[in-house]
Structure 1
Amino acid sequence: MTPYSPAAPTPSVERIDAIDVLRGIALFGVMAINLVMEFRVSIFEQFLGPKTLASPIDQTIETILTQAIELKAFALFSLLFGAGLAIQFDRLAASKRRTVLLLRRLAVLLMFGIIHLCLIWNGDILAEYALAGFIVLPLLFGPRWLLAFAAVTSLGLYLAMQAFPPAGLFPSRTMIWRDAMDANRIYATGGFLDVLAFRLREIPLIASLHAFVFLRTIGLFLLGILAWRSGIVQNTRALFVIGLPALALGAGLLYRGIEPLGATLLALGYGAAILGIAHFDRGKKLLGWAAPLGRMAFTNYIAESLIFGWIFYGYGLGLFGRLGVAEALAIGIAVYAAQALFSVWWLRRYRYGPLEWLWRSLMYGARQPMAAVEAGKER
């Protein structure tokens, strides 16, 4: 690209398949946690103390989700978002509009996040990512040592906040209990407007949960940027050198009950290991099914909110609070499998997922080629 060439999205042929694979796998983890912990029951149920589950299978699945996936899948998405931001930044280096385009990219994401948060599901993560992106963006102009310092500082402050929670930041137990009781009634039986009103009322409470992990999100964005800038993402040997010790240390810390640091290290280990495996030919064959899901992660994420909202809320099937963990997860696996098949079908015909296309078109201020034949002619 010359300084006078119009900026444009990365062609499909230039995408890094391993990153798409990791994003597709991380999508499953995010889906499973959102479904079991937030769509099935109130997100605040987990803060009301131990509960008796219906069956040993439910107890086993919830333990696996809590220990092996919860927070780790979200951390993977944060790492990937940071790496993606760095890739966009570097590939737009020849464009005089680089900063404007990236600011517009984040502004559009924030708009999508607010719509998702208010009208579809208040467990949204897009708005948080956009706000964290605005903070991280200026640091992309800095050297790697500055990125590393900012990452360590952000993650250190996050860990300190977990050890010494700021007074008044987290809602009281009474507020949590009252909200969970209202959720059991309104989400299960309310019409669309009832659910909408309650969803909006819950936002301040849920914002306090985001406040506890916001510094971690920033720190993981920066680690993702560093992984790309230092070439680790493309270096199979480095991925395993980092990934295997991170897996072992993270698992050990979790076993000792040191959750925040252990979860972060385990997520780093997951990411490095999956990327490393996906670089091999056999790994591509083994994990390649996840790449289409990863390429359409934005569309699939929003689609899951729409589908699960209809399944669990009163304006649909009204299954909120009525399903066990295993039953809910079985539904999620079926939806995820259907999305995997749909993503393959769609990407054979189109260059981007529907929302990915809209995001890029709004970012660049021009309609992007959508059909696969259009993309082929462009190249």
Structure 2
Amino acid sequence: MENTQLQQRIDILDYLRGFALLGIIFMNIISMMSPELPALNSQDAAYQRFLYLFVEGRFYSIFSFLFGIGFYIFMTRALAKGNNGYTLFLRRIVALFAIGFIHQMYQPGEALALYAICGLLLIPFYKLPKHINLLIALIGIIGFGYLGNKLLLTFPLILLGLAVGQFRVFERLASLQKHIWGFTIIMLLLSAVGLWYQVQYLPSKPFIPFMLGGVLDPFLIQVNQFLNIGIMIGPIVSAAFVGILILLLQLRAVQTLLAPLKYYGRMALTNYLSQTVLILLAAQWLQQSGTTTYMQTFYICLAIHLILILFSMVWLRLFKMGPMEWLWRAVTYMQVPPLLKKI
């Protein structure tokens, strides 16, 4: 029974990957296109505040967490099939690092190369007891979150995903409904408190993220405090988002309504890279006007999501996996996997 469960695709993880992809692009496009500083009390200024309250660090945390779960599932399934999971995973992360290394030339804030490095560090933790991994992950999240260090937060978030995988949470969601309700309510309350605290440091005017200036500049200090608090509470808000989505997906009607999200998440690597390509094309097009606004980046992201979701739905009707997922799998197993679905 357990071996059968290991071979089954966990659909809810695809929904969560798709959800994470929805949010990540809204911050990536800011770093890539560097929109002009919004005017005071403008729609662009309101959108900037929204991004740094509800998007920055929230979806990246989910993506990191899911990478950890993916690591556990990959290793467990490989070992269950009698393969050398460690060798296969090493090939997998070398390929991921290569993809990420190339990708960072076009998208400076990209995460794939960092995930590959964290994946290498994660290997020894696979054999550790799940309670130990959970404790280390939580200590790391609290410690690095308090420091406001988004980069260092990545590994404990990934390790948390490994621990949750070890607890087999997503295979037992039906029997954990009360626990998930309680967890989600607690995370929502903590998120409300955290966001209220962050709002207390909300800059009085639009800002350039991580501005340079005098260390005694009161506005600069306020901006950095605001951003650091956002990073600190990011995992909590992310957990609330995940809890809400898991609960909603227990309803068949919601699963049907959000089905496009599942296809988007099944091709997460392809779509993550495709987002960058489409942003670069949009940036080339907008260069003709000379400037880019925050609201323009919002509309570009919506258009990119529409294009890639439709692409994913059509592609997966014909093929078993996304093109980059196929390439990644081929490098991992050193053989050409079947791509076309049997009709």
Asked if the contact 2:145/2:233 (under 8 Å) is kept, the reply is no
**Residue equivalent to 2:298:** 329
Superposed, 1:199-278 pairs within 5 Å as 212-233=149-170, 234-236=172-174, 237=177, 238-257=179-198, 258-278=229-249
In the aligned structure 2, how far is the partner of 1:38 from the partner of 1:107? 26
Superposed, 1:38-187 pairs within 5 Å as 38-41=31-34, 51-53=37-39, 56-94=42-80, 95-118=82-105, 120-162=106-148
CA change 1:54–1:331 in 2 (3 A) is farther
CA change 1:34–1:54 in 2 (3 A) is farther
Deviation at residue 251 of structure 1 after TM alignment: 2.5
Deviation at residue 54 of structure 1 after TM alignment: 7.0
In the aligned structure 1, how far is the partner of 2:192 from the partner of 2:288? 35
**Residue equivalent to 2:13:** 19
The number of residue pairs the alignment matches comes to 304
Q: Identity of paired residues, percent?
A: 26
Asked if the contact 1:352/1:370 (under 8 Å) is kept, the reply is yes
CA change 1:96–1:300 in 2 (3 A) is closer
Deviation at residue 148 of structure 1 after TM alignment: 1.5
Deviation at residue 232 of structure 1 after TM alignment: 2.5
Asked if the contact 1:155/1:219 (under 8 Å) is kept, the reply is yes
Please state if 1:344 is matched with 2:313: yes
Asked if the contact 1:249/1:265 (under 8 Å) is kept, the reply is yes
In the aligned structure 1, how far is the partner of 2:185 from the partner of 2:232? 16
Deviation at residue 100 of structure 1 after TM alignment: 0.4
Asked if the contact 2:249/2:255 (under 8 Å) is kept, the reply is yes
Asked if the contact 2:38/2:293 (under 8 Å) is kept, the reply is no
In the aligned structure 2, how far is the partner of 1:85 from the partner of 1:321? 43
Instruction: Summarize deviations over 1:93-150 as a string: whole Å, max 9, x none.
Output: 23241110111111110010001112x3222110011111111121011111221232
Alignment partner of 1:299 out of 270, 285, 293: 270
In the aligned structure 1, how far is the partner of 2:289 from the partner of 2:107? 14
In the aligned structure 1, how far is the partner of 2:289 from the partner of 2:58? 25
Deviation at residue 92 of structure 1 after TM alignment: 1.6
Asked if the contact 2:32/2:107 (under 8 Å) is kept, the reply is no
2:299 counterpart letter in structure 1? A
CA change 1:346–1:55 in 2 (3 A) is farther
Deviation at residue 248 of structure 1 after TM alignment: 1.9
Deviation at residue 247 of structure 1 after TM alignment: 2.0
Describe the SS at the equivalent of 1:256. Answer: helix
In the aligned structure 2, how far is the partner of 1:231 from the partner of 1:96? 21
In the aligned structure 2, how far is the partner of 1:272 from the partner of 1:87? 20
CA change 1:69–1:317 in 2 (3 A) is closer
Deviation at residue 22 of structure 1 after TM alignment: 1.1
CA change 1:320–1:100 in 2 (3 A) is farther
Instruction: Summarize deviations over 1:252-273 as a string: whole Å, max 9, x none.
Output: 1121124333221010111122
Q: Which runs of 4+ in 1 moved over 6 A?
A: none
CA change 1:136–1:286 in 2 (3 A) is same
Deviation at residue 291 of structure 1 after TM alignment: 0.5
Q: TM-score, normalised by structure 2?
A: 0.82
Describe the SS at the equivalent of 1:372. Answer: coil
In the aligned structure 2, how far is the partner of 1:213 from the partner of 1:138? 23
**Over aligned residues, Cα RMSD in angstroms?**
2.2
Please state if 1:33 is matched with 2:27: yes
Flag structure 2 segments of 5+ consecutive residues without an equivalent: 1-5, 199-228
1:240 counterpart letter in structure 2? W
Deviation at residue 319 of structure 1 after TM alignment: 5.9
Q: TM-score, normalised by structure 1?
A: 0.75
Flag structure 1 segments of 5+ consecutive residues without an equivalent: 1-9, 46-50, 163-211
Instruction: Summarize deviations over 1:53-104 as a string: whole Å, max 9, x none.
Output: 3762212222222111111010010111111111111112232411101111
In the aligned structure 2, how far is the partner of 1:333 from the partner of 1:97? 42
Instruction: Summarize deviations over 1:207-229 as a string: whole Å, max 9, x none.
Output: xxxxx323311111111122222
In the aligned structure 2, how far is the partner of 1:34 from the partner of 1:214? 15
In the aligned structure 1, how far is the partner of 2:20 from the partner of 2:196? 22
Instruction: Summarize deviations over 1:255-306 as a string: whole Å, max 9, x none.
Output: 1124333221010111122123223312212321200100111111111111
Describe the SS at the equivalent of 2:104. Answer: helix
In the aligned structure 2, how far is the partner of 1:86 from the partner of 1:100? 14
1:99 counterpart letter in structure 2? Y
CA change 1:140–1:320 in 2 (3 A) is farther
